[in-house]
Amino acid sequence: MNSKMLKKVFTVVCIISLVGSLAGCGKATKTTTDTEKTSSTEAKSTVEDSSSETKKEVTVTALLQQSRNYPGLQKMIDKLKADENIIVDLQIVPDDQYNNLLQMQINSGEAPDLIDYNLPAIYGLIDPETYLADLSDEAWVENLVNPSIVTHKDGKVYGFPFQASSGVSGIVYNKQVFEDNDIAIPTTEEEFNAVCDTLLAKGITPLLLPSDNWVPQIWMSIGEGLAAGSVEKAREIADALLTHKKEFTDYPELIKVVDTYLGMFDKGYFNQDYLTVSYDACLERLAKGEGAMLFGSAGILSAVEGAFPDAKVSLFNPPFDYNTNDALVSGLFSIGFCASKNSPKLDTVKRIFDLWSTPEYMNMWFEGNAGFPSFPDVDGGDMNDDVVALYNEYSAEGKIVGEMNNYLNDIQPLYKTTLWVYYLDAPSKGITGEELLATFQKDVNEYMKEKQVEGF
């Protein structure tokens, strides 16, 4: 083969590869879409064939955060399509863009029929009375295990919750590591430090921290809840902060929470690569016993157990000095959906909620996603025994308090872009708790002023 011929062959191969790869990319998407369309059409025609006389096809739109696109929810949607001829047209949005997109759709009068959110938090993000349908008179409301979690301060229910609570929050730990090293669960801050020193001496990272700023914030949100000590006190602090009667730095207990966390860096308890390591990598280290503890909620247990079936993980209440009331934090967190007030398909949406409130549907949501269901007959899956015991113990004593973030809903858009970044940035820059909160207070003041909130 002469060189001209070789060049031609090489050029043709390159072109074919390039076109092939580009077409491959396009085809992959198209195939998925086509498959979806085909299956959707097939499902549609099947339903139409079997029950078209009784059930007319209705499509409702829904906005969903990417991280909440659980397989269980997909099953519920498929069942709606198969049994009721209701199609839920999901618009799945990356989590960090969700708030903006939701607010933009709502403010431009193009809100979807169904809106996914952590229900207690949505009341801080948008005005429920203006934008969300009042569901207080729906039959399922009477059956809610924990109606307070979805009840707005005006006494109305604007959302349909899947969970009665997200369970307890605290320190997730590797049980095997603790057992192998004869370590008992610490009950005081002194004991906690001793445990960390023991682990450190054995070459195990005592506390894991990823670059994903969700973990340090949960540490602080739990800590501030514990430092408040009760729901009433937490609400009182939040009210004072949100009306600018007080500032963060006016509360020494809040400063202490941040300082306790920052002190752990000085003692070398955290993994050194906390500024770059991913959250998933931290979970893996926890499961493999390379790290012993991680701040978080009960949901992390199922995530670790799901990904690493051999891992023995559990959770204990943070034993820090600021927890003077010996309280336990349970996140005021309940994933669910709201209905848009001006939805032309409101009746269908209400019908969906009716159906979803039955065990037949809701059991699916908890498959592989164990938790505390919002309805009594629903199977919430296998919860970690320690977590259930902890929850029962503190709830019997009435010593459960929410995470502080839950009470400070109005400033939640600031968290991810400022406060949580400060938490990760402070240790390497030698910033103290007081300085950190003072900086955040400036952000809060500017933000609330921008929102024209009275008092700022």
Partner 1 sequence: MHSKSDKKRYPIYFVIPAFIFYSIFIILPFGISFIMSFTDWNIERMYIPIFRGFDNYIAIFRNSVFIRSIFNTLLFAVATTILKTLFGLLLALALVKVSRLNNILRTIYYIPCALSPMIIGVIFTSILANDGLLNNVLSTLGFSAVAVNWLASYGTAMSSVILIEGWMWSGFNMFIFIAGIQAISKDYYESADIEGAPAWAQFKSITMPLLIPSFTIIITLNITGSLKVFDLIYVLTKGGPGFDTQVLSTFVYKAFGLGLLGQSSAASIVLSALVVCISFVLNRYLTKREVEL
Task: Name the site residues for partner 1 (rule: CB under 8 A).
Answer: 3, 96-97, 99-100, 103-104, 107-108, 211, 272-273, 275-277, 413-414, 416-417, 421-422, 424-425, 428-429, 446-447, 450-451
Instruction: Give me the amino acid identity at 229.
Output: G
Q: Which is nearer to partner 1, 232 or 273 (CB)?
A: 273
Instruction: Give me the amino acid identity at 90.
Output: L
- Give CA–CA dist 198/206, Å, rounded: 9
- Report the nearest approach of partner 1 to the CB of residue 107 (Å): 4
Distance from first CA to last CA of the chain, Å, rounded? 80
Strand partners, 87: 59
Token code pair at residue 214: 């969700």
- Report the nearest approach of partner 1 to the CB of residue 7 (Å): 8
- Report the nearest approach of partner 1 to the CB of residue 29 (Å): 15
Q: What is the DSSP letter of 185?
A: P
- Report the nearest approach of partner 1 to the CB of residue 126 (Å): 9
Q: Which is nearer to partner 1, 43 or 277 (CB)?
A: 277
Q: Which is nearer to partner 1, 69 or 417 (CB)?
A: 417
Q: Which is nearer to partner 1, 67 or 428 (CB)?
A: 428
- Report the nearest approach of partner 1 to the CB of residue 242 (Å): 16
- Report the nearest approach of partner 1 to the CB of residue 97 (Å): 8
∠ CA 145-149-153, nearest 5°, is 130
Query: At how many degrees (to 10) do helices 214-228 and 231-242 cross?
Result: 110
Q: Are 320 and 192 in contact (CB under 8 A)?
A: yes
Burial tier of 218 (Cβ tally within 10 Å: 0-12, 13-18, 19+): buried
CB atoms within 10 A of CB 429: 9
Helix (H) or strand (E) holding 91: strand 86-93
- Give CA–CA dist 102/95, Å, rounded: 11
Burial tier of 298 (Cβ tally within 10 Å: 0-12, 13-18, 19+): buried
- Report the nearest approach of partner 1 to the CB of residue 174 (Å): 20
Q: Are 304 and 313 in contact (CB under 8 A)?
A: yes
Q: Which is nearer to partner 1, 48 or 212 (CB)?
A: 212
Q: Which is nearer to partner 1, 102 or 228 (CB)?
A: 102
Q: Which is nearer to partner 1, 148 or 452 (CB)?
A: 452
- Report the nearest approach of partner 1 to the CB of residue 427 (Å): 10
Q: Which is nearer to partner 1, 225 or 427 (CB)?
A: 427
Bridging pattern class, strands 291-297 and 205-207 = parallel
- Report the nearest approach of partner 1 to the CB of residue 281 (Å): 9
CA–CA distances in Å: residue 271 to residues 64, 286, 431: 34, 11, 19
Q: Are 359 and 373 in contact (CB under 8 A)?
A: no
Q: Which is nearer to partner 1, 193 or 439 (CB)?
A: 439
